[in-house]
Amino acid sequence: MKYGHFDDEAREYVITEPQTPRPWINYIGRQDYVGMISNTGGGYSFYQDPRYRRLIRYRYNNAPRNVGGRGLYVRDAESGEYFSPTFQPAREPLDDYEARHGLGYTTIRGEKDDVAGEVTYFVPPGEDLEAWRVTVENNSDESRNLQLFSLVEFCLWDAVDDSSNYQRNYNTGEVEVEDSVIYQKTEYRERRNHFAYFACSADIDGFDTQRDAFVGQYNGFDEPAVLEDGEATDSIAHGWSPIGSHQVDVELEPGESEEVVFLLGYHENPQDDKWAEPGVINKEYVEETIEEYLDPAALDESFTELEEFWADQLSALQVETPDPETDRMVNTWNPYQNTVTMNLARSASLYETGLTRGIGFRDSLQDQLAVLHQFPDRARKRILNLAKIQLKDGGAYHQYTPLTGEGNADIGGGFNDDPMWLVMSTAAYVKETGDTSILAEEVVYENEPGTEEPLAEHLQRAVEYVRERRGPHDLPLIGHADWNDCLNLNCFSENPDESFQTAEHDVEEERAESVFIGGQFVYAVEELAELADQTDLLPESAEEYQRYADEMADAVADAGWDGAWFRRAYDHFEDPIGSSENDEGQIFVESNGMCGMAGIGREDGKVQDAMDSVRERLATEHGIVLHQPAFTEYDERYGEITSYPPGYKENGSVFCHTNPWIMITEAKLGNGERAFDYYKRICPAAREDISDVHTTEPYVYAQTIAGPDAPTTGEAKNSWLTGTAAWNYVAITQYILGVRPDHDGLVVDPSIPAEWDEFSVHREFRGATYEITVENPDGVESGVDRVEIDGDTIDSQTIPDLGDGEVHDVRVVMG
C-alpha cells in the first residue's frame, strides 16, 4: 500500500493520506537553523545545537504522536467548526489533503467545507528563521468569516532541562508581545542573551503566550479552548509553558484568498553586546529581518535562491538508467539525504533526540564519502575537524560536540575501527579532488592541543594504532567495539554470574580481535599505498604500506577464514565468532563485506565463496541481515548485541549500512545482477508499494529493516540519519553504474543487470564535465570493450583528468 507518489519533475514526494504509518518528515534549513517538518506539520527546530538551542518542544514518545510544537488552525467564525490544514493537531478529517516534501521545503494543503489552507515551510538561505507562508482560500460560493490561529510551543532552550527540571523552568518563562510579534525571552536575563520571536505579517486580532490559556486546563491540542471559544485570550506567560499563538481574522469573498506569513526566528546578540540590560531584549537586532521576510516578495526571492542552491548541488552527478526507481534515488533523494546526514551526523531526527550524541568520528567520516563531489570544501573542513579529535596514539575520541568542537570524554575512544575511517575518507577526498594539500594541513590532537602535525602524520598514527594493537591471531584488537557498536567482546570471565562488561579492567588485558578491522585495514592501507604514489607527503613509501596491507591480508585469510566465509571476530578466550563452530551468529555480513571489498583471498576464490555464503544464509527479500542465526538470549560474552530481540537492530536486522558493502563486492567481482538485486531490495523508492510494511519514508533510507527472526519482518526503523545513505550512493554510482574517481581520472567499470542495454551518467569532475553513455549491446553484466572520448578511442577504462572546463562526450561499450 502506498500513501503518495514521487513527483520526479518537481523533485517532491507527494503524500496524499495524512495518516502515514509513521510521521514522514523533511528537513528545512541547512546551516545554523534547522527544522524538521512532518507531513502533518509536526517536528521541531533548533539553532546549531538541538539540545542547548532548542526552539520547539518535541515529545518523542507521545500518543498521539507528533503533536505539539507547531500548529495551524482555520476556523469558521460563524459555524464554530475548525480544522488544521496540516491535519494535525486538530485531526479533523479533511475533504482534501496533500503534503509535498521538496528539497529544503514542505508544502501542506488541506481543505474542508470549501475552505482550504495551504502552508509552505522553509528557511530562507542564510537566515536564522523558518518562514510559514500560509494561504487561506474560500472555495465556496458564499463569503466566509474565517479565523486563522498559529501555534508554536516554545522549548526553554536546553531540551533536557525542558523535560526534566520543572521546579526551575515553570518559573523562568518570559515573553513579550509587541504588535504582531511574540518574543520568547526566557533566560534572556541570565548569561545567554538569545531570544526567539514568532512574527506575523497581518495585524492580529488576538494572541496567546501561555499554553494552558490557549489549550485550556483539560483540553488537548486537538480541541484547544481558544478554538472552541473562537477568541484568543491575550494571555501573557509568567513561567509555566510559554507558547506563541496569533489570531488573524480573515473575511473572504467566494474565490478569494489571503496570504499570511509567520516567521519563527532565533537571535543571539553579538559578543560585544552580550551584557544587555537584564530582561530587556535587543529587538532592534531583528526588526529589520522581520520586516524584510514578512514581505512575500522577499520570500519569493529566497525561495528561488533555495531552488537554485539545490539544482546546483545535484548537478554534479545525474543519471538516466532503465530503472526509474534508481533514477529518482540517485538524482534526487539519495544525495539529499546524504547532505542532511552530513549536516546533522546522527544528532537530530524523530528518533535521535539531539540530546545525547555529538558528531561521530566513524559516522561523519563515512558521510563524507557521498558528498565529496557536491561540496569538496566543506568535506575537507569536516575531515580536518574530525582529525582534531584524534588522539596522539592514533586512536580517536568517538564523538565531538559541535558547539565546542571538543571530544566527548564520556564516551571516550577505544572503538578500534575509528582510525581507519580517517584514512579511507581522506583517500576518497584526494581521489575526487586531486588535492593532496590536505595531507599537509597541520592538525592538533585532542589530548595534546599544543601539538600540531600534518594530516599525513595523523594517518600514519592511525595505521600504527591498528598495527600495534593485535591479538593472539595477529588480527586487530577490537577494543570496545568496531563498526558494530554492540559487539562487545572484552569480557573477562566465562562465569555468567559475574558482571564483566562493566568491570573495571586494564585496556592492556583486552584480547578480543576483529576480522572486520583486519579487512578494513587492508582496504584503507592499500588506499594509502596508492596515495603514496601520488605524493611524498606521507611518511612511508607505497611499497611499505602495501607490505603492511599484505601482512594483514595474510592474517585475515588465515585466522579470519572459516572455510566458506570470513569469520567475524575472536573473543577474549580466543573462540571464533561468526564461525560454523558457533551455535548462533555463525556468519556475519560486516566482515564479509569489508574483507570482500578489500579483495582478501580473491585470487583463490575466497571472496566469491563468501558472497555465495552471504547469498545463501543472509539474503532475505527485505535485504541482507547482519548475521544468522540471530542470538536468542542475552549473553554477556557478546555484549549489547544480544540485548536486542532476534531480528532487531544489531541482533540480526537488515542493518542497511552494511548491504552496500556486499553490493560493492559483488560489483567488483563482476556480478552485476546480484549487486543490483541487493540494491533494489533495500532501495526506499522500490519499497514504496509496501509502505504499510516498511512504514518509514519511501524517499530516504532507514537504519534498519526488521529481519526474518522478528515478528515484524520488513518494518523499517530510524529513518534519515544513517550511514546507509552514503554507502548506498557510493555502491550505486561508483560500483554498479561504475563511474568512480581515481587519482588519474574517472574510472568507468559498470556492473549492471544484463538486460540493461544502455544508461548514461552526467558527471562533473575536477572542473570538466563528462557526458558518459554506456552501451551494452551483448547483454553482459560487466566488462568494458571500448571507451571513446569525444570520438577517439582510448586504451584504458580511466577517463583522464582533462580539467579543461569543457564538456566531453564519453562512449563506453561493454562486452
DSSP letter at 668?
H
Task: Pick what 109 binds: ligand IFM, ligand BGC, none; C-beta below 5 to 8 Å, kind-dependent.
Answer: none
Q: How many helices (H) and strands (E) does the chain have?
A: 20, 42
Lay out the site mask for ligand BGC across 484-523 (x = CB under 6 A, - = otherwise).
Answer: -xx-------------------------------------
Task: Pick what 484 binds: ligand IFM, ligand BGC, none; C-beta below 5 to 8 Å, kind-dependent.
Answer: ligand IFM
SS3 label, residue 6: strand
From residue 86, how far is each of 108, 152, 204, 238 by CA, in Å? 6, 14, 21, 30
From residue 187, how far is each of 192, 198, 788 by CA, in Å? 7, 17, 66
Nearer to ligand IFM, 53 or 346 (CB): 346
Minimum distance, C-beta of residue 643 to ligand BGC, in the bound complex (Å): 8
Return d(Cα 526, Cα 286) in angstroms, integer: 53
Instruction: For residue 804, report the phi and psi dihedrals to the nearest 5 degrees.
Output: -105, 10
Task: Pick what 362 binds: ligand BGC, ligand IFM, none; C-beta below 5 to 8 Å, kind-dependent.
Answer: ligand IFM
Return d(Cα 40, Cα 85) in angstroms, integer: 8
Is the bond into 322 cis (omega within 30 degrees of 0)?
A: no
Nearer to ligand BGC, 211 or 627 (CB): 627
Q: CB of 652 within 8 A of CB of 626?
A: yes
SS3 label, residue 742: strand
Minimum distance, C-beta of residue 498 to ligand BGC, in the bound complex (Å): 23
**Number of residues binding to ligand BGC, judged by CB under 6 A:** 5
Return d(Cα 246, Cα 148) in angstroms, integer: 8
Return d(Cα 813, Cα 815) in angstroms, integer: 7
Minimum distance, C-beta of residue 360 to ligand IFM, in the bound complex (Å): 6
Residue of 718, 714, 686, 681 whose CA lies nearest to 702: 718
Nearer to ligand IFM, 651 or 751 (CB): 651
Q: CB of 429 within 8 A of CB of 528?
A: no
Nearer to ligand IFM, 512 or 752 (CB): 512
From residue 468, how far is each of 361, 490, 691, 811 by CA, in Å? 21, 18, 48, 47
Give me the catalytic one of 485, 533, 550, 554.
485
Nearer to ligand IFM, 113 or 640 (CB): 640
Nearer to ligand IFM, 153 or 363 (CB): 363
Task: Pick what 483 binds: ligand IFM, ligand BGC, none; C-beta below 5 to 8 Å, kind-dependent.
Answer: ligand IFM
Using CB under 6 A as the binding rule, whether residue 307 contacts ligand BGC is answered as no
- Give the pairing of strands 768-775 and 807-814: parallel
Nearer to ligand BGC, 486 or 754 (CB): 486
Minimum distance, C-beta of residue 710 to ligand IFM, in the bound complex (Å): 17
Task: Pick what 363 binds: ligand BGC, ligand IFM, none; C-beta below 5 to 8 Å, kind-dependent.
Answer: ligand IFM
258: enclosing H helix or E strand: strand 257-268
Minimum distance, C-beta of residue 639 to ligand IFM, in the bound complex (Å): 11
Minimum distance, C-beta of residue 191 to ligand IFM, in the bound complex (Å): 34
Q: CB of 812 within 8 A of CB of 772?
A: yes
- Residue numbers 55-84 binding ligand BGC by CB under 6 A: none
Minimum distance, C-beta of residue 335 to ligand BGC, in the bound complex (Å): 24
Nearer to ligand BGC, 527 or 715 (CB): 715
Nearer to ligand BGC, 252 or 716 (CB): 716
Lay out the site mask for ligand BGC across 646-675 (x = CB under 6 A, - = otherwise).
Answer: ---xx-------------------------
Nearer to ligand IFM, 483 or 676 (CB): 483
Task: Pick what 551 binds: ligand IFM, ligand BGC, none; C-beta below 5 to 8 Å, kind-dependent.
Answer: none
Minimum distance, C-beta of residue 595 to ligand BGC, in the bound complex (Å): 22
692: enclosing H helix or E strand: helix 691-694
Task: Pick what 584 binds: ligand BGC, ligand IFM, none; C-beta below 5 to 8 Å, kind-dependent.
Answer: none
Task: Pick what 183 binds: ligand IFM, ligand BGC, none; C-beta below 5 to 8 Å, kind-dependent.
Answer: none
Minimum distance, C-beta of residue 773 to ligand BGC, in the bound complex (Å): 41
Interface positions with ligand IFM (CB under 6 A): 360, 362-363, 483-486, 650
| Count of all residues that appear for the chain in the document | 815
Minimum distance, C-beta of residue 590 to ligand IFM, in the bound complex (Å): 9
From residue 722, how far is each of 17, 57, 148, 707, 718 by CA, in Å? 26, 24, 38, 18, 8
Nearer to ligand BGC, 71 or 723 (CB): 723
Return d(Cα 95, Cα 594) in angstroms, integer: 52
From residue 59, how far is each of 67, 158, 169 by CA, in Å? 8, 14, 17
Minimum distance, C-beta of residue 396 to ligand BGC, in the bound complex (Å): 15
Name the residue whose CB lies closest to ligand IFM. Answer: 485
**Is 208 annotated as catalytic?**
no
- DSSP letters, 427-478, are HHHHHHH--GGGGG-EEEETTEEEEEEEHHHHHHHHHHHHHHSB-TTSPBB-
Residues 797, 798, 803, CA angle at the centre, nearest 5°?
150
Helices marked H in 569-671? 589-598, 606-617, 659-668
Task: Identify the burial level of 717 via C-beta atoms within 10 angstroms of its C-beta, where 0-12 means exposed, 13-18 middle and 19 or more buried.
Answer: middle
Is the dihedral angle over the CA atoms 747, 752, 754, 755 positive or is it negative? negative
Task: Pick what 400 binds: ligand BGC, ligand IFM, none; C-beta below 5 to 8 Å, kind-dependent.
Answer: none
Return d(Cα 780, Cα 812) in angstroms, integer: 13
The amino acid at residue 730 is V
Chain contacts with ligand BGC (rule: CB under 6 A): 485-486, 640, 649-650
Which residues does the annotation mark as catalytic?
485
